[in-house]
């Protein structure tokens, strides 16, 4: 394809994006002359270029649009939604044709006769609010011969100023605007000629009028009538070109590959600088030190500047939204005003690209589901025009994007009901879930509360895709909503994808980077305790992490660095990196954990794409390459995630409610009274806490305490399971031991007299007991120990607290 | 008579060559990070001034016996498409100009996968120059075990 065509496509693409915005803006301020002029100019530029490049169909279409616009500009038509839609349809059609040109180099077969007809039809509509000076004959005259609009406003103004002398072409009066006297447009050939005194203003005005009749160039007309010499016209033309170039001189287009290359080189420079600094610090040469310090500063600054070249303002994607919102609102009969804050917040371009679709979806959703129709809003006592706000701001090294509407808000109960219908949660879970968690259900696959499926949304795909896409780039989505007042979706994303924080671990003598997004915690088992913590479930290694079995994956075996025998023969401590991916946790065993650092992510060549264990590579401080582990890929490879889909959203709270099914069971041993020993299945224990006695407060007769922003009831075990207590215990003023027990989101604290140990229960429980709240007893550490039925105790002590949670918290 | 410049190198005593136009640079020694699970011919990754480049051991790619312990290979960095690839060779030779008339297609007795890696031979005085199919050589099949038994 010709360079000139390519340039035309790029420029037109940008122009069209601007047109979208300007047309939507124009709708809200229909009298803005500047906007109209700018829109007109843009269309005219496209039309002019395609005439030159021989795209006849495109020219015809833009010509129709231009005619309509010129009538708007001259105030003969008032803009209405229909006209705006017509013009926007034209913009879309132009975009389609440009795409065809891009693909084939031709402007296609489609002639858009219907659209051209529609544009022509709109042109003949009478003005809704005719401007005072508009006269019937003028309208007729213009619709008969629409101005070709060869020049811009300024030129037209000039025309007006000289009109009295233009007697050769008798015309009907056609001025409807008050125009100030002004100099000719210096960016046009005519203007330049007048400026230089080569052409008299009157002649130019005449020529402009003639140009409106025919379609000749202004220079040609002037030369043909002897008003200017061809040399002057040519010189003026060159001046115009130069002036255009000057205006564009502030920016240049640079290919992205070049920028990426620059980034690479700067990264290398930084490495070289580090080596130089290291070297210079060992030599006493002051000159060398001075030079290397200077080099250091320059390299740092250079790196920062080059990083900036990859940044793009978020406004670049928001710019599309006014149009999206307008079309959508019109389509579903709503009135929506879009407000944007923080358009100039910058993000790495890869992130900007990745966030585009999710954001578009959220905006569509807000208009389609969030904001109500005008009648409903009036009934609710709100302004019939809904407000959709897009906000971007920095917070804690991340960028926050908020999409808020002032619509009806999310209906927690309807979401619960839908989620139960879809089998996403059980009725019990639904009852336990607070609204905040319920709102998160909308991000589950296959969820949509829309009563009817609309063109826009309601097919149940979307919100889960939004979540997945945002998480893919290391972001998080959160939704908040107040019934009747609207909802806010907040997307938190990192500034850049190119640099991520990572944990550096070694395995088989090589370093591997593990993105911190998936990192939960690190566990180190000392060599003397080796083998104690790691158990086998039918040959598969697991580790008990706070009572839950964590599947373990040997990185060396998974990568084939060492075989099974070698990897288990290691005598050193075991390092477990606890990772989470797709809601599943697993422990990755590595040789050593060295460091966490910010790494620059670089892609792997296509030859290594199939391995599915690495997400890229990075260059370490010493210049060597290290591979970045693909946590999801590894998990799949090791079979950690295969069977079950993502965990239920309340997993974080639910663990205590779901008894672990395993042969061996970890038990928490606690003291009750002087001699009494009780056991609680560890799986039921959310946390063990020690507090000063002063934390105990009273709510009525119930002892309570403030715990993690909640008020939780406190139960004294000694009052539930009576035990002998001596004076020491009663008088003790020190601290209390609290076993925190959670079911769903309800939390209860059980005060015990002391924590003894955590043991594995092998002995059989003998169910000989008449005490309520005790399942049975067994012998552990030479003590008779009573196994507590914690859910039953809690229910007996605080009636009603766990309502709706019974089925979940079945037997122990 | 048309002629072409070849960058030559030695592999297990044989003279190989790639067109000079495809060669980006030749580096003596470079630190290589191995890639576990990668196809056998992949030696690892090198850092070429900030660009991460895949290093392919041509001996293994061509099914030649392993390089002797302690000898360091030489990186011939070629660029065939977007990505640069480093081909590990035993020794680098001179750049020579060969005439197209001395070219012959590989003999029919050359069998199997190696055949797809050698475009043909140029008959030089006293030796034969194997013209490597650079594009094919830079592709590494997922299973390279088959390559090992070629020769």
Q: What is the rounded distance in angstroms from the CA atom of residue B67 to the CA atom of residue A657?
A: 61
Q: Give the per-residue pLDDT at A764.
A: 66
Contacts of B49 in chain A (CB under 8 A): 264-265, 268
- Residue A93 confidence (pLDDT) above 80: yes
Residue that finishes a domain, picked among A446, A463, A494: A494
**Mutation to test the B interface, candidates A607, A629, A636, most B Cβ within 10 Å:** A607
What are the φ and ψ backbone dihedral angles of A720, each rounded to 5 degrees? -85, -50
Q: Give the per-residue pLDDT at A264.
A: 79
Q: What is the rounded distance in angstroms from the CA atom of residue A383 to the CA atom of residue A534?
A: 63
Of A156-165, A603-612, A714-723, the least confident: A156-165
Tokens of residue A214, six digits = 């025919």
How does residue A779 score in pLDDT terms, banded at 50, 70 and 90?
confident
Of A231-240, A583-592, A668-677, the least confident: A231-240
Q: What is the rounded distance in angstroms from the CA atom of residue A504 to the CA atom of residue A188?
A: 62
Search chain A and give the residue with CA nearest B86: A605
Contacts of B38 in chain A (CB under 8 A): 607-608, 611
Is B46–A625 a contact, with Cβ atoms under 8 angstroms apart? yes
Can you name the residues that pair with A805 across neighbouring β-strands? none
The answer to whether residue A674 is domain-embedded is: yes
Tokens of residue A26, six digits = 């124009």
Give the mean model confidence (pLDDT) for residues A141-163: 41
Is B50–A268 a contact, with Cβ atoms under 8 angstroms apart? yes
Concatenating the DSSP letter of every residue in A127-176 gives PSS--TT--HHHHHHHHHS-----S-HHHHHHHHHTGGG--SS-------
The beta strand positions in A620-660, using DSSP E, are 625-629
The answer to whether residue A811 is domain-embedded is: no
The answer to whether residue A728 is domain-embedded is: yes
- Residue A641 confidence (pLDDT) above 70: no
Search chain B and give the residue with CA nearest A634: B37
Q: What is the rounded distance in angstroms from the CA atom of residue A603 to the CA atom of residue A723?
A: 66
Is B36–A560 a contact, with Cβ atoms under 8 angstroms apart? yes
Is A604–B37 a contact, with Cβ atoms under 8 angstroms apart? no
Average pLDDT of the residues of chain A: 75
- Tell me, yes or no, whether A554 and A573 share the same domain: yes
Task: Determine which helix (DSSP H) or strand (DSSP E) holds A401, and give its type and residue range.
Answer: strand A398-405
Contacts of B54 in chain A (CB under 8 A): 604-605, 607-608
Average pLDDT of the residues of chain B: 84
- Tell me, yes or no, whether A530 and A473 share the same domain: no
b (16+ CB within 10 A) / e for A153-181: bbbbbbbbbbbeeeeeeeeeebebbeeee
Judge whether A565 and A672 are in contact, CB under 8 Å.
no
Q: Give the per-residue pLDDT at A84.
A: 82
Can you name the residues that pair with A76 across neighbouring β-strands? none
- Residue A296 confidence (pLDDT) above 80: yes
Residue that finishes a domain, picked among A224, A253, A282: A253
- Tell me, yes or no, whether A158 and A71 share the same domain: no
How many structural domains is chain A composed of?
A: 6
The answer to whether residue A142 is domain-embedded is: no
> What is the distance in angstroms between the CA of the first residue and the CA of the last residue of chain A?
74
Give the mean model confidence (pLDDT) for residues A412-431: 81
Share of chain B above pLDDT 70, in %: 91
Q: Which of A272-281, A695-704, B33-42 has the highest mean pLDDT?
A: B33-42
Q: What is the rounded distance in angstroms from the CA atom of residue B63 to the CA atom of residue B68?
A: 15
Q: Give the per-residue pLDDT at B34.
A: 92
The beta strand positions in A608-753, using DSSP E, are 614-619, 625-629, 665-672, 676-681, 685-692, 697-699, 702-707, 710-716, 735-743, 746-752
Judge whether A107 and A97 are in contact, CB under 8 Å.
yes
**Any idea what DSSP says for residue A428?**
H
Task: Determine which helix (DSSP H) or strand (DSSP E) holds A323, and give its type and residue range.
Answer: helix A321-331
The answer to whether residue A43 is domain-embedded is: yes
Tokens of residue A399, six digits = 């960028």
Nearest to A605 among B37, B50, B83 (CB): B83
Q: Give the per-residue pLDDT at A154.
A: 41
B63–chain A nearest CA distance, Å: 18
Q: What is the rounded distance in angstroms from the CA atom of residue A553 to the CA atom of residue A541?
A: 8
Of A174-188, A330-344, A698-712, the least confident: A174-188
Contacts of B139 in chain A (CB under 8 A): 607
Q: What is the rounded distance in angstroms from the CA atom of residue B88 to the CA atom of residue B96?
A: 20
Contacts of A608 in chain B (CB under 8 A): 35, 38, 42, 54
Is A607–B39 a contact, with Cβ atoms under 8 angstroms apart? yes
Is A625–B83 a contact, with Cβ atoms under 8 angstroms apart? no
Judge whether A340 and A404 are in contact, CB under 8 Å.
no
- Tell me, yes or no, whether A106 and A194 share the same domain: no
Owner of token pair 């120059």: B129
- Give the number of beta-carbon pairs within 8 Å between A and B: 71
Can you name the residues that pair with A507 across neighbouring β-strands? A510
Concatenating the DSSP letter of every residue in A764-787 gives PPB-----TTEEEEEEETTEEEEE
Q: Please tell me if residue A627 touches chain B, with a CB cutoff of 8 Å.
A: yes
The answer to whether residue A802 is domain-embedded is: no
In a 10 Å sphere around its CB, with 0-12 CB exposed, 13-18 middle and 19+ buried, how is residue A112 labelled? buried
Q: What is the rounded distance in angstroms from the CA atom of residue A752 to the CA atom of residue A731?
A: 15
- Tell me, yes or no, whether A242 and A323 share the same domain: no
Contacts of B27 in chain A (CB under 8 A): none
- Tell me, yes or no, whether A346 and A275 share the same domain: no
- Residue A399 confidence (pLDDT) above 70: yes
B60–chain A nearest CA distance, Å: 16
- Residue A175 confidence (pLDDT) above 60: no
Q: How wide is the angle at C-alpha A542 spanned by C-alphas A539 and A547, nearest 5°?
A: 140
**Any idea what DSSP says for residue A474?**
T
Sign of CA dihedral A295, A297, A298, A302: positive
Residue A316's alpha-carbon distances to A17, A348, A363, A491, in angstroms, are 10, 12, 15, 17
- Tell me, yes or no, whether A185 and A239 share the same domain: yes
Q: Which of A12-16, A716-720, B130-134 has the highest mean pLDDT?
A: B130-134
Q: What is the CATH number of the domain that holds A97?
A: 1.20.120.160
Q: Decide: helix, strand or coil at residue B112.
A: helix
Is A607–B139 a contact, with Cβ atoms under 8 angstroms apart? yes
Give the mean model confidence (pLDDT) for residues B35-49: 89
Is B44–A625 a contact, with Cβ atoms under 8 angstroms apart? yes
Give the mean model confidence (pLDDT) for residues A262-282: 80
Spatial CB neighbours of A154, under 8 Å, sequence gap ≥ 6: A182, A183, A184, A185, A191
pLDDT (tens digit, 9 = 90+) per residue, A99-119?
A: 888 887 777 777 778 888 888
- Tell me, yes or no, whether A638 and A775 share the same domain: no
ipTM: 0.87
Give the relative orientation of helices A321-331 and A349-365 as an angle to the nearest 10 degrees: 20
Q: Give the per-residue pLDDT at A652.
A: 36
pLDDT (tens digit, 9 = 90+) per residue, B89-135?
A: 999 999 999 988 889 888 888 777 678 888 999 998 888 999 999 98
- Residue A140 confidence (pLDDT) above 60: no
User: What CATH number matches the domain at B3-148, 1.10.10.10, 3.30.565.10, 3.40.50.620, 2.40.50.180?
Assistant: 2.40.50.180
Cα A278–chain centre separation: 41
- Tell me, yes or no, whether A320 and A274 share the same domain: no
Q: Give the per-residue pLDDT at A568.
A: 57
- Residue A577 confidence (pLDDT) above 90: yes
pLDDT (tens digit, 9 = 90+) per residue, A311-355?
A: 888 888 888 888 888 888 888 888 888 899 988 888 887 788 888
The answer to whether residue A803 is domain-embedded is: no
Is A605–B139 a contact, with Cβ atoms under 8 angstroms apart? no
- Residue A94 confidence (pLDDT) above 60: yes
Judge whether A534 and A541 are in contact, CB under 8 Å.
yes
Q: What is the rounded distance in angstroms from the CA atom of residue A650 to the CA atom of residue A434?
A: 10
Q: How wide is the angle at C-alpha A169 spanned by C-alphas A165 and A170, nearest 5°?
A: 90
Is B83–A559 a contact, with Cβ atoms under 8 angstroms apart? no
Give the mean model confidence (pLDDT) for residues B142-148: 42
The whole-model pTM stands at: 0.50
**A533 or A140, which is more confident:** A533
Contacts of B46 in chain A (CB under 8 A): 625
- Residue A615 confidence (pLDDT) above 60: yes
Nearest to A613 among B37, B47, B51 (CB): B37
The beta strand positions in A60-204, using DSSP E, are none
The beta strand positions in chain B, using DSSP E, are 3-11, 14-19, 23-27, 42-48, 51-57, 74-79, 84-89, 91-99, 103-104, 118-123, 128-132
- Residue B3 confidence (pLDDT) above 50: yes
How many CA within 13 A on the CB side of residue B105? Answer: 4
Can you name the residues that pair with A604 across neighbouring β-strands? none
- Tell me, yes or no, whether A272 and A244 share the same domain: no
Can you name the residues that pair with A738 across neighbouring β-strands? A689, A751
- Residue A64 confidence (pLDDT) above 90: no
- Tell me, yes or no, whether A451 and A518 share the same domain: no
- Tell me, yes or no, whether A27 and A95 share the same domain: yes
B84–chain A nearest CA distance, Å: 9
Contacts of B52 in chain A (CB under 8 A): 602-605, 617, 619, 625
Provide the residue ranges of all domains of chain B, joining segments of one domain with +: 3-148
Q: Which of A223-237, A486-500, B52-66 has the highest mean pLDDT?
A: B52-66
How does residue A665 score in pLDDT terms, banded at 50, 70 and 90?
low
What are the φ and ψ backbone dihedral angles of A120, each rounded to 5 degrees? -65, -40
Q: What is the CATH number of the domain that holds A334?
A: 3.30.565.10
Chain B positions touching chain A (beta carbons under 8 Å): 31, 33-39, 42, 44-47, 49-54, 83, 85, 138-140, 142
Search chain A and give the residue with CA nearest B56: A607
Torsion of CA B124, B127, B133, B139, to 10 degrees: -160
| Domain span at A1 | 1-136
Concatenating the DSSP letter of every residue in A738-760 gives EEEEEETTEEEEEEESEEEEEEE
b (16+ CB within 10 A) / e for A525-543: beeeeeeebbbeeeeebbb
The answer to whether residue A810 is domain-embedded is: no
């Amino acid at each position: 394809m010709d360079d000139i065509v390519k340039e035309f496509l790029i420029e037109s693409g940008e122009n069209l994006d601007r047109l979208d915005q300007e047309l939507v803006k124009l709708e809200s301020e229909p009298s803005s002359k500047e906007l109209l002029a700018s829109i007109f100019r843009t269309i005219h530029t496209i039309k002019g270029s395609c005439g030159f490049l021989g795209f006849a169909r495109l020219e015809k279409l833009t010509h129709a649009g231009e005619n309509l616009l010129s009538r708007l500009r001259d105030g003969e038509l008032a803009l209405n939604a229909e006209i705006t839609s017509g013009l926007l349809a034209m913009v879309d059609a132009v975009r389609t044709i440009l795409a065809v040109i891009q693909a084939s180099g031709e402007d296609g077969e489609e002639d858009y006769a219907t659209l051209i007809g529609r544009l022509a039809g709109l042109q003949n509509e009478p003005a809704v609010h005719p401007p005072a000076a508009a006269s019937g004959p003028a309208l007729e005259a213009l619709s008969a011969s629409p101005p070709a609009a060869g020049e811009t406003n300024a030129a037209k103004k000039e025309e007006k100023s000289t009109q009295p002398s233009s007697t050769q072409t008798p015309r009907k009066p056609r001025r409807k605007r008050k125009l100030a006297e002004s100099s000719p447009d210096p960016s046009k050939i005519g203007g330049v000629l007048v400026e230089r005194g080569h052409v008299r203003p009157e002649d130019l005005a005449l020529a402009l009028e003639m140009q409106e009749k025919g379609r000749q160039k202004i220079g040609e007309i002037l030369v043909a009538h002897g008003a200017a010499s061809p040399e002057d016209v040519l010189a003026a033309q060159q001046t115009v070109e130069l002036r255009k170039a000057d205006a564009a001189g502030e920016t240049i287009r640079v290919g992205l590959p070049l920028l990426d290359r620059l980034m690479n080189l700067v990264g290398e420079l930084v490495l070289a600088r580090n080596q130089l600094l290291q070297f210079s610090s060992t030599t006493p040469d002051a000159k060398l030190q001075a030079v290397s310090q200077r080099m250091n500063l320059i390299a740092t600054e250079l790196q920062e500047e080059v990083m900036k070249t990859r940044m793009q303002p978020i406004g670049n994607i928001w710019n599309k939204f006014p149009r999206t919102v307008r079309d959508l609102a019109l389509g579903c009969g709503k009135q929506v005003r879009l407000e944007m804050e923080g358009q100039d917040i910058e993000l790495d371009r890869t992130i900007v690209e990745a966030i585009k679709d999710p954001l578009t979806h959220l905006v569509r959703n807000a208009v389609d589901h969030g904001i109500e129709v005008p009648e409903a809003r009036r009934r609710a006592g709100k302004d019939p025009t809904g407000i959709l706000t897009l906000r971007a701001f920095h917070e804690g090294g991340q960028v926050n994007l908020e999409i808020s509407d002032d619509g009806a808000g999310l209906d927690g109960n309807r979401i619960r009901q839908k989620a139960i219908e879809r089998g996403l949660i059980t009725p019990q879970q639904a009852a336990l879930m607070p609204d905040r968690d319920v709102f998160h259900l909308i991000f589950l696959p296959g969820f949509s509360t829309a009563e009817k499926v609309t063109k826009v949304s309601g097919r149940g795909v979307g919100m889960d895709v939004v979540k997945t896409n945002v998480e893919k780039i290391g972001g998080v989505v959160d939704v908040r909503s107040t019934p009747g007042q609207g909802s806010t979706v907040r997307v938190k994303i990192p500034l850049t994808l190119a640099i991520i924080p990572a944990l550096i671990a070694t395995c088989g003598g090589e370093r591997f980077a593990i993105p911190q997004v998936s990192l939960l915690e690190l566990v180190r088992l000392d060599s003397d305790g080796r083998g104690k913590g790691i158990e086998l479930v039918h040959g598969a290694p697991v580790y008990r992490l706070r009572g839950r079995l964590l599947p373990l994956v040997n990185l060396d075996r998974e990568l084939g660095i060492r075989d099974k025998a070698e990897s288990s023969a290691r005598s050193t401590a075991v390092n477990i990196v606890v990772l989470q991916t797709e809601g599943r946790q697993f422990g990755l065993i590595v040789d050593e954990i060295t460091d966490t650092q910010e790494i620059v992510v670089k892609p792997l060549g296509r030859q290594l794409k199939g391995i599915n264990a690495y997400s890229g590579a990075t260059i370490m401080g010493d210049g060597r390459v290290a591979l970045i582990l693909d946590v999801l890929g590894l998990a799949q490879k090791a079979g950690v995630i295969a069977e079950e889909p993502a965990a239920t959203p309340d997993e974080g709270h639910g663990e205590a409610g779901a008894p672990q099914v395993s042969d061996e069971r970890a038990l928490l041993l606690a003291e009750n009274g002087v001699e009494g020993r009780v056991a609680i299945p560890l799986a039921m224990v959310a946390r063990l806490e020690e507090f000063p006695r002063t934390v105990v407060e009273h709510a009525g007769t119930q002892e309570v305490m403030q715990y993690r922003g909640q008020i939780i009831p406190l139960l004294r075990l000694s009052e539930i399971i009576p035990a002998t207590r001596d004076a020491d215990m009663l008088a003790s003023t020190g601290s209390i031991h609290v076993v925190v027990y959670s079911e769903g989101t309800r939390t209860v604290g059980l005060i015990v007299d002391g924590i003894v140990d955590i043991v594995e229960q092998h002995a059989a429980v003998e169910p000989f007991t008449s005490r309520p709240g005790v399942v049975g007893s067994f012998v552990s550490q030479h003590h008779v120990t009573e196994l507590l039925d914690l859910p039953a105790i809690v229910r007996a002590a605080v009636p009603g607290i766990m309502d709706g949670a019974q089925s979940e918290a079945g037997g122990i | 008579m048309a002629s072409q410049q070849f960058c030559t190198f030695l592999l297990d005593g044989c003279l190989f060559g790639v067109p000079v136009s495809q060669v980006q640079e030749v580096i003596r020694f470079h630190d290589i990070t191995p890639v576990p699970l990668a196809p056998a011919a992949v030696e690892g990754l090198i850092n070429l001034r900030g660009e991460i480049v895949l290093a392919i051991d041509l001996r293994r790619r061509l099914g030649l016996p392993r390089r002797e312990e302690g000898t360091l290979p030489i990186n011939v960095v070629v660029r065939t498409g977007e990505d640069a690839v480093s081909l590990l060779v035993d020794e680098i030779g001179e750049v020579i100009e060969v005439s197209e008339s001395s070219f012959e297609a590989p003999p029919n007795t050359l069998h199997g996968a190696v055949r797809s890696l050698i475009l043909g031979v140029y008959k030089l005085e006293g030796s034969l120059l194997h013209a490597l199919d650079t594009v094919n050589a830079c592709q590494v099949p997922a299973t390279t075990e088959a390559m090992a038994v070629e020769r």
